[in-house]
Chain A
Amino acid sequence: MELDIYQTDALNELGNIGAAHAATTLAQMLMSPVEMTVPEVKVVDIADVYQYIGDEISALVVFQIQGDLADGGYIVVSMPVSAVIELTNMMLGTAGSDRELTEMDQSAVIEIGNIMISAFLDSTAELLGIVMLPSPPALAVDMAHAAFQSIIAQMAADVNEVVIFSTELQSDAPPVYGSIFLLPNPELLREIIRLLEALVAT
């Protein structure tokens, strides 16, 4: 699978729109500005995924992309455990930063993931004129790579590469840091590229 420079640019732009909407919803929840890095699209060999996603312990909220394409791939919000605790402390008025994640923290991160990902998919799907909906979320608090690897095992039986599409979001007060990863399956990716090229042509 190779993406030419125009396709990469178009996907970057799509990611920009999605991530900007996700960042806005996060900023509203935090009542604080959220900065975002320019999205990056990479075609990664499955054997090299560990170079991009390490084994640090994170909270990962995972959604399957549904809608016009029944099984479009996955979209993931990943936050370090410390950032999740900052978020819950702020949202629920709890205190203490050096603790394990409670059930309350877990519900909060799932809810935040839900809101951010809905904004991401809504805005990109609207641009493309298709329906993309998140499945109910699944949560893993674990080594980030172990969770990714399980997702890849689910989607990549006959392919050896995945397209990883990542943006980082950051707020200073409270100090919250997280990433959004999009792992489209080949059909969704082809469809997105086709629709983007049609958009540019008109």
Chain B
Amino acid sequence: MSVIYILLTISILVAIVFFVAFIVAVRNGQFDDSYTPSVRMLFEDELIKEKPKKTILTKKD
């Protein structure tokens, strides 16, 4: 049953890893702006749509 020591160590280690990740994220400013990133990730779809459009435009000219 001393396996519980290992289990406990692991679970707390995992928790600490997440905690450190959180601190690092805050330090890097991830929580400074909570709106822009949510919009930014949608742009990637738009960009792909843009490419075929571009060829049409150049043909037109």
Instruction: Specify whether A and B are partners.
Output: no
